[in-house]
Chain A
Amino acid sequence: MKNTNQKSVLVGIGNAGVSVLDRIAVEHPSIKETLVINTEGASLSASVTARRIAFPPCQDGDLSEGFLAIEEEFMAAIEGAPAVIFCGALGGELGSFLIPALAARAKADGITTLASVGIPFSFEGRQKREIADAALRKLHDLCDGVALIDNDRLAGGVPSTAAVGEAFVAADRALQFSMLALRGMLSTSGPVRITRADLAGSLGIAGAMTHFGHGMAKGANRLHEALEEMLRSPLLTIAGKGSALKEAATVLLLLSGPADLSFAEVQRTVSEIERVAGDRCLVKVGVLADGYADDPLEIYLLAGSGGGSRKATPPAPTKTATPVTQSSSKSAEEWPPARSQPSLDEARAAKSKKSSAAQQTQGVLNLETYQRGRFDKSEPTIVEGEDLDIPTFLRKGIKLVSPFRH
């Protein structure tokens, strides 16, 4: 993705944040507005990101001291930026504290704040998940939008025999693409653009998971290949349900590529997403066609569901930025937070849903998955822009009764 005049600053917090920003620095050297913050150590000293801030060691674990020490340097680094996009893993001490704290500080200066954060894998333990949930509630209060990536869902795209390190690499990769997506969307201008209000509207729902897809391809068949890769992204799939798009309330779509990116390609992409997501979903598209001729076509997709797919309790209704020091000390008192209990209404709703599901003898197949099956590697049969290798019943949206397994 080519650099633009927009100067949204990407801020990576903690080890995960440094890792993600380093990947961006290496793979997208034109993106200069980057900053990483981490405690002193090998991760920070080896980082290749343009700006680095060392978070000082704090006595008695009081991280607010460290925050006050770096606050000025942080504000200097983001000076003049219209938006800041934070990135890191929640559940750890530094990321869970610093991302909400810095977001509140930036927000207090009128800067748009977005965050792309990862929720720990289940195998990292319950305590980490609870810390992450608490931090997430704060983020939803303080940020204009939060892209939430559930690492467990990423595990679907990693072989079960893979090393633990590979799972974390996949998580970093997802954060990287979501950062690039958010940055690209903020950079769009002209008639086909995504506004900050669009981003806030799509990513501002507390507790809602962000479903995320990315595809990239070059050549004559680039649109088809990029679309296919994007729709197969592990984060676009909900275990047992198929494509997450069918539950999406809003979809933000960014097409980034060379200057010859055509209107037809944009139109085809939108119609494909609309076909999969259904009529109720609001699709907003932004285009960044300022790349070089040999740049690939990249499609980024962020889909916001109706919320509540995680068990985080809704945040307090206030949307004003909480004073940083107060916020941090309060959050320290709350940790580890008590497990949230579902309300009576939620419990009734869940029971009712379970009951109606039990009455069905056979489920209805998910038909929205973009599949070519045995023709996956074949030259596609395209007639009037339609890929006829995809089953007819899928393209026509015909529902089938699924097989009943013994």
Chain B
Amino acid sequence: MAREQIFVGLEIGTTKICVIVAEGRNDGTINILGVGETPSRGVRKGEIVDLSTVSDCVREALLDAEDKTNVEIGNVWVAITGSHLRSFNNRGTFILPEDRDEIVDEDLQTVEINAKEVALPSANSFLHTIIQSYHVDGNENILSPVGMAGSRLEADFHIIHGVKTRIQNTLRCIESLKLGIEDVVLSSLASALVVLTQQQKDLGALVIDMGGGTTDYLIYLDGAVRHSGVLALGGDHITNDISIGLRLPIARAEVLKIQEGSAADPDQVEGGTITLKNDPGFHGCEIDRKALNTIIHHRVREIFELIRNDVEAGHDGMLSMLGAGVMITGGCARLRDIAPVAEEIFDLPVQLTRAKEVGGSTQTFENPQFSTAIGLTKYAMAVSDNQPEESLMQRFAQGLGGLFKRRS
């Protein structure tokens, strides 16, 4: 049974930094209390390049969230992304001692350790080891083997790792604000937790979270994570392409993308012109709509093709097994006509989606930009639910738990 508890998710994105304060309800749902948000500076392609500037932005976002929710924030769950993150699937095996034939909790930990016995690059460290399924004496897809009789326990894991120092930069930024860090979570994993229902996870779905600096993607199939990846390409690249192609300042290109841009195939939509008015320091001009759409279409198409190629390279035929299709979330999900492009590339049904089974501020959970940050709170709740009551109490006693309290 879930305990009523407050969780704070922090996403340090390339275009925005957002803090979601949410309350875990007894019925297992999340109620958003409020969101703190500030434009991001010092982050490129999802990674911190200017620590002090980012710290300032995070502080602003935290204060904003505290003001809006009346919650004093002590600990946060942090999303992480970046092109340095890599993933693979691996199987761990454990042979039970001859004097024992019942599987116990410790065996699950041992088999996980065995699955991690792989030679990572020396600069890398593990971020997640996500269970896919257990196998006991050849009996496949066991959900919970504890208590079962057996002599050989095997487990498949999806393992995510990244460059240690790059992950540490995010942690240092938060620690410089005297905040506690509960855990670091892969962005796409957090997003998938709130945009997919359990049924979709079982049927199989590809979640694509297109942000400003990166595009994170993750595949659920048979209720488990099968594949994940990060492309250091996102909405900023679309804006940059427009800026270069149409010779516009970046800020103008960003507005043009949001207000007029479409990812539709330029040969299949009507042309025409878009008039940009004079501004101080900017001479007005007329933009050919077809040129704008051509730029956007080819970039979006390329991103989807890269994802498709990556998935097919690792798991031939997996895409065709995804019964629930493709879910697109993140800021770029709001780009016009993005879904038909994805449908063409993946040959799957595509949905533009946002956080589900969430209560509270409608404006927040209906905005796909916040999927990751909301997902962090969902992840936090899931992890807390799995903690034994005593253990959690001990963590509080040791000052390691969620130190959230209402200010009044």
Contacts and interface: CB of A to CB of B under 8 A. Distances in A.
Contacts of B286: 403-404, 406
Contacts of A294: none
A356 interface: no
B299 A392 contact: yes
A391 B83 contact: no
A405 interface: yes
Contacts of B45: 378-379, 381
Contacts of A372: 240
Nearest to B245: A400
A88 to B, nearest CB: 39
Tell which of B247, B248, B301 has the most Cβ of chain A within 10 Å.
B247
A349 interface: no
B140 interface: no
Interface in A372-406: 372-375, 378-379, 381, 383, 388-389, 391-394, 396, 398, 400-406
Interface in A200-246: none
A378 B236 CA distance: 12
B288 A393 contact: no
A394 B244 contact: yes
A372 B298 CA distance: 16
Dominant secondary structure of chain A at its interface with chain B: loop
A371 interface: yes
A43 B203 CA distance: 81
B350 interface: no
B298 A406 contact: no
A197 interface: no
Contacts of A69: none
A362 B271 CA distance: 15
B243 interface: yes
Taking residues whose C-beta sits less than 8 angstroms from the other chain, chain B's interface range is 35 or more
Contact of B83 (A371, A373, A381, A400): A381
A365 interface: yes
Contact of B243 (A374, A396, A400, A401): A374
A403 B256 CA distance: 13
A406 B284 contact: yes
A398 B44 CA distance: 27
Nearest to A372: B240
B245 A365 contact: yes
A371 B306 contact: no
Given A378-B44, A381-B83, A406-B283, A401 B291 contact: yes
Given A374-B250, A391-B299, A393-B298, A381 B241 contact: no
Taking residues whose C-beta sits less than 8 angstroms from the other chain, chain A's interface range is 20 to 34
Contact of A401 (B233, B237, B290): B290
B408 interface: no
B288 A406 contact: no
B291 A392 contact: no
Contacts of B298: 392-393, 396, 398
Tell which of A365, A383, A393, A400 has the most Cβ of chain B within 10 Å.
A393
A362 B291 CA distance: 12
Contacts of B290: 401
Given A383-B306, A398-B294, A401-B291, A391 B232 contact: no
A67 B283 CA distance: 58
Tell which of A362, A365, A373, A379 has the most Cβ of chain B within 10 Å.
A373
Interface string B276-318: 1010000111111011001100110110001000000000000
B246 interface: yes
B304 to A, nearest CB: 12
Interface in B248-294: 248, 250, 273, 276, 278, 283-288, 290-291, 294
Tell which of B244, B246, B295, B302 has the most Cβ of chain A within 10 Å.
B244
A376 B243 CA distance: 13
Given A383-B306, A404-B286, A373 B244 contact: yes
B247 A402 contact: yes
Given A374-B240, A401-B288, A405-B283, A393 B246 contact: no
Nearest to A404: B286
A401 to B, nearest CB: 4
Contact of B240 (A373, A396, A403, A406): A373
A402 B287 CA distance: 8
A355 to B, nearest CB: 24
A122 B33 CA distance: 69
Contacts of A393: 241, 245, 294-295, 298-299
A211 B70 CA distance: 65
Contacts of B283: 405-406
Contacts of A371: 244
Contacts of B236: 374
A291 to B, nearest CB: 29
Interface string A150-191: 000000000000000000000000000000000000000000
Tell which of B239, B241, B301 has the most Cβ of chain A within 10 Å.
B241
B295 A381 contact: no
B249 to A, nearest CB: 11
Given A400-B295, A401-B290, A391 B285 contact: no
Given A374-B236, A391-B299, A392-B299, A406 B243 contact: no
A403 B306 CA distance: 30
A231 to B, nearest CB: 14
B316 to A, nearest CB: 18
Nearest to A383: B306
A371 B244 CA distance: 8
Interface in B357-382: none
B241 A392 contact: yes
Contacts of A379: 44-45, 83, 232
A389 B234 CA distance: 10
Contacts of A389: 237, 240
A262 B291 CA distance: 38
A403 B292 CA distance: 10
Contact of B233 (A388, A394, A396): A388
Nearest first, the 5 closest Cβ-Cβ pairs linking A and B are A391-B241, A403-B285, A392-B298, A401-B288, A400-B291
7 contacts: A375-B237, A378-B45, A379-B44, A391-B240, A398-B298, A403-B287, A404-B273
Interface of B: 44-45, 83, 231-233, 236-237, 239-241, 243-248, 250, 273, 276, 278, 283-288, 290-291, 294-295, 298-299, 301-302, 306
